[in-house]
Amino acid sequence: MMGGVSIIIPTYNEDANVEKLIKRVQCSFAKSRISYELIFVDDNSTDDTVGKINKFCNYLPVRTIVKDKRIKKGKAESLLIGFKNAAYDVICMIDADLQYPPEEILPMCRELKKFDIVVSNRNIRNDSSVSRKFASKMFRYVFGKVIFGLDCDVQSGLKVFKKEVLAYIEISSTPWTFDLQFLHKARNLGYTIGSFDIEFFERQGGNVKLNFLRSVFEIGLQAFKLKLTVLPPVLYSDETQDKMMGNGVFYKGEKLITHTDISHRHSALQTIVLHQKIVLAVLLLTIIAGFILDWRTTIILIVVLLTVVYFLDLLFNLFLIGRNFQKTPEIRISEKELKAIKDEDLPVYTIFCPLYKESKILPQFIEAISGMDWPKNKLEVQLLFEDDDRETIRVAEEMKLPDCFHIIVVPHGAPKTKPKACNYGLAHAKGEYVVIYDAEDIPDPKQLKKAFSAFQKEENKDIVCMQAQLNFYNPCQNILTRVFTAEYSLWFDLILPGLQSIGAPIPLGGTSNHFKADSLHLLKGWDPFNVTEDCDLGMRLCKMGYHTAVLDSTTMEEANSNLMNWMKQRSRWIKGYMQTYLVHMRNPKEFISDWKHPNIITFQLVVGGKVSSLFINPFMWSTTVTYFSFRSIIGSTVDSLFPPIVFYLAVICLVLGNFLYLYYYMIGCYKREQWGIVVYVFFVPIYWLMMSIAAWMALYQIIFKPHYWEKTVHGLHLPIIK
């Protein structure tokens, strides 16, 4: 059943009871094969308590620990000392006054098959005092059930529990509130609590040490303090595993398995933290007060702010596009360099492919990866499946997979996200380099060698990630895929290389990002709670002093051809950008390593600015349309809201800005030689409107379903190809 039971007994002037207690425990355990130890923690008794205990130490598993007089007095501190000295995997705490029958310890331990903690429920005898009955019922109902929802006798002095519970609980010891803290925090960590009815007896010897009024006051005060305290997430480690496998976090009563030990302070587990809530509340109240006191001036200030943000974004994008014409930022590997690579000099390369309900697209992926130019005996391809995806697992098992392919099933547990699966894969990875590919990807066959060669020849050893460029193999399936392709061409062929050229943080693309495995372990893998984990990783990478480079090699993906499917995919991306912004704005100074690299500014423009513009755009568009449609009625009012210099900036953004943005899309298409798509760039304004709708969907989800992974259906192109 168990390895043994450590019984912790706090004592103070209990010489009338300790001998009987030891004998009753010994008699109870003698009938079983369970090992036990009795650890008495004495609070410097003034009677013969310690002497009577020590008489048993030579022939029974009994120990005495006398507290240092400098240590805080009280039962709670004594229990904590006893817990630290416990040898067995099950712990029992029991009072020494024989009110709790020690014969019930073993039956309660057997209940640990169903629960992590078992609490004795006191069945107080009829001959007990009215005050004791009242106190017991009040403690249980008011402080347990009403305030904390604990359906057990919270102040009971007899409890048994698994020792592992103690590893993640911090108790601030006060004389009468240990039990409530312990149970409340244990339940918050996801541990289960059961109860066991016992008969509760009158004290058999010694004096009652309970000060009734004092205990009620202190328990009440501490209970309300504890209730108002927000319990933070707690990381846990599976010490039986290596490389963070099995690690996770306790949060709101759940044990979440993440296979990483990223701190919750750097994770999207909590969407928004307290000081951010305060800042947002102050900002909202300031705006409301501004409208009440002087609505016209408030609107002018808002218009000025939005116009300046638009103008800065216009200049920043113009600057990034211009960098591409000054030099070629991407790292290029020539054919000569590729031919010079000898297979015997190549290390093991690990490919992660997280899949979920991808049976339709799996054969295409197997064929694409099988054609990669890398020695197969040095290639490890991990097909990462969720345990409930039986259909895709079945298809994979029925296929004749090459020896370098490995089917890895991620164990069940929340959250079920792509980054969590990648963390599990990272714990198994054998490669010196690793890369992620999505199931629908068809990468450049020489991409692995290009990435390896780029890492080898790059003088800046702080570059730990190579982001390959992405584009689509079905660009002309419909109008949506054409505009989507133009967007990808702009982003991966112009914007990201421009960011690389100035050493700015690069939001990674979710696929085809190649890493040095040891650096990825230092980064602790991916945030399993961020639904755009690639963007977040790019920011964390930058904060740690590392850099990303763009590799001149393309992975072809499937452009989403279904509008609703596209909406779900885009809303997930935008939600992930929101999560990333909120996480990294908890401590924005982490971006500032020196003033020569103002990464905090580029972060605001690339991540924060892109998201905010999706919400601002409809407002600005509607204002513009209304102004020209009803100028004779509201023209003078709108004009009064734009100071002259702001008006000219707004006109530049409206006329020149929109022209330049469309032109940027065209440049991206020209760079990709996608001549037939250029004309469809004129549909981009409608595309922007669709993105704004997706942004509102993302806002709803980040409030109500922050970690929900909106699954994108792949393989919609296959019927077209056939």
Beta bridge partner(s), residue 551: 331, 468
Domains and their CATH numbers in the chain: 5-231 (3.90.550.10), 235-261 (no CATH), 307-721 (3.90.550.10)
What residues contact 412, with CB distance under 8 A and at least 6 apart? 387, 388
CA nearest to 88, candidates 29, 147, 130, 31: 29
The residue assigned the tokens 């029992």 is 92
The pLDDT tens digits of the residues spanning 236-273 come to: 887 777 788 889 898 888 888 899 999 888 999 999 99
Query: Virtual CA dihedral for 663, 665, 666, 667, nearest 10 degrees?
Result: 90
| Residue 204 backbone phi and psi in degrees, to 5 | -95, -15
Confidence of residue 56 (pLDDT cuts 50, 70, 90): very high
Instruction: Determine what percent of the chain is predicted with pLDDT higher than 70.
Output: 91
What residues contact 493, with CB distance under 8 A and at least 6 apart? 324, 469, 668, 671, 672
The residue assigned the tokens 């949506």 is 480
Query: CA quadruple 300, 302, 307, 308: dihedral positive or negative?
Result: positive
**Residue that wins the pLDDT comparison between 561 and 628:** 561
Q: Does the pLDDT of residue 587 top 80, yes or no? A: yes
- Give this prediction's pTM: 0.85
CA nearest to 485, candidates 670, 715, 714, 321: 670
Q: Following DSSP, what letter does each residue of 518-534 receive, concatenated? A: HHHHHTTS--TT-TTHH
Residues 22 and 54 sit within 8 Å (Cβ to Cβ): no
Q: Does the pLDDT of residue 305 top 70, yes or no? A: yes
Confidence of residue 281 (pLDDT cuts 50, 70, 90): very high
Of 530-539, 551-560, 709-718, the one with minimum mean pLDDT is 709-718
Q: Please compute the mean of the pLDDT values over residues 17-33 and round it to a whole number.
A: 91
Give the per-residue pLDDT at 243: 82
Give the per-residue pLDDT at 409: 95
The pLDDT tens digits of the residues spanning 656-705 come to: 888 899 999 999 999 999 999 999 999 999 999 999 999 999 999 999 99
Quickly count: other Cβ atoms within 10 Å of residue 624's Cβ.
Answer: 13
How does strand 159-162 pair with strand 90-93?
A: antiparallel
Residues 642 and 653 sit within 8 Å (Cβ to Cβ): no
Give the per-residue pLDDT at 139: 64
The pLDDT tens digits of the residues spanning 590-613 come to: 877 666 667 888 999 999 988 998
Q: Please compute the mean of the pLDDT values over residues 355-360 and round it to a whole number.
A: 91
Q: Does the pLDDT of residue 129 top 60, yes or no? A: no
Give the per-residue pLDDT at 590: 83
Query: Virtual CA dihedral for 73, 74, 78, 79, nearest 10 degrees?
Result: -150
Query: Rounded CA gap, 155 and 183, in Å?
Result: 10
Enter the tokens of residue 361: 């697209």
Confidence of residue 721 (pLDDT cuts 50, 70, 90): very low
Residues 472 and 488 sit within 8 Å (Cβ to Cβ): yes
The pLDDT tens digits of the residues spanning 109-123 come to: 999 999 999 999 887
Q: Does the pLDDT of residue 528 top 60, yes or no? A: yes
Q: Does the pLDDT of residue 332 top 90, yes or no? A: yes
Confidence of residue 327 (pLDDT cuts 50, 70, 90): confident
Q: Does the pLDDT of residue 373 top 80, yes or no? A: yes
Confidence of residue 184 (pLDDT cuts 50, 70, 90): confident
Give the per-residue pLDDT at 218: 67
Confidence of residue 42 (pLDDT cuts 50, 70, 90): very high
Query: Rounded CA gap, 693 and 676, in Å?
Result: 28
Instruction: Determine what percent of the chain is predicted with pLDDT higher than 90.
Output: 57
Confidence of residue 168 (pLDDT cuts 50, 70, 90): confident
Give the per-residue pLDDT at 136: 59
Give the per-residue pLDDT at 423: 95
Give the per-residue pLDDT at 3: 78
Query: Rounded CA gap, 468 and 430, in Å?
Result: 22
Q: Does the pLDDT of residue 366 top 60, yes or no? A: yes
**Residue that wins the pLDDT comparison between 716 and 216:** 716
| Residue 470 backbone phi and psi in degrees, to 5 | -120, 145
Q: Does the pLDDT of residue 487 top 90, yes or no? A: yes
CA nearest to 465, candidates 418, 503, 526, 508: 508
Mean pLDDT of the chain: 88
Residues 464 and 547 sit within 8 Å (Cβ to Cβ): yes
Residues 535 and 576 sit within 8 Å (Cβ to Cβ): yes
Give the per-residue pLDDT at 722: 39
Distance of CA 406 to the CA centre of its chain: 27
**Residue that wins the pLDDT comparison between 444 and 460:** 444
CA nearest to 665, candidates 491, 497, 509, 498: 491
**Residue that wins the pLDDT comparison between 645 and 574:** 574
Quickly count: other Cβ atoms within 10 Å of residue 637's Cβ.
Answer: 10
How would you label 80-101 residue by residue, b for 16+ Cβ within 10 Å and e otherwise?
bbbbeebebebbbbbbbbbbbb
Beta bridge partner(s), residue 472: 557
The pLDDT tens digits of the residues spanning 672-684 come to: 999 999 999 999 9
Q: Does the pLDDT of residue 132 top 70, yes or no? A: no
The pLDDT tens digits of the residues spanning 508-523 come to: 998 999 999 999 999 9
Residues 151 and 116 sit within 8 Å (Cβ to Cβ): no
Q: Following DSSP, what letter does each residue of 314-339 receive, concatenated? A: HHHHHHHHHHHHHS--SB---HHHHH
Give kind and range of the element (H or E) at residue 386. strand 379-386
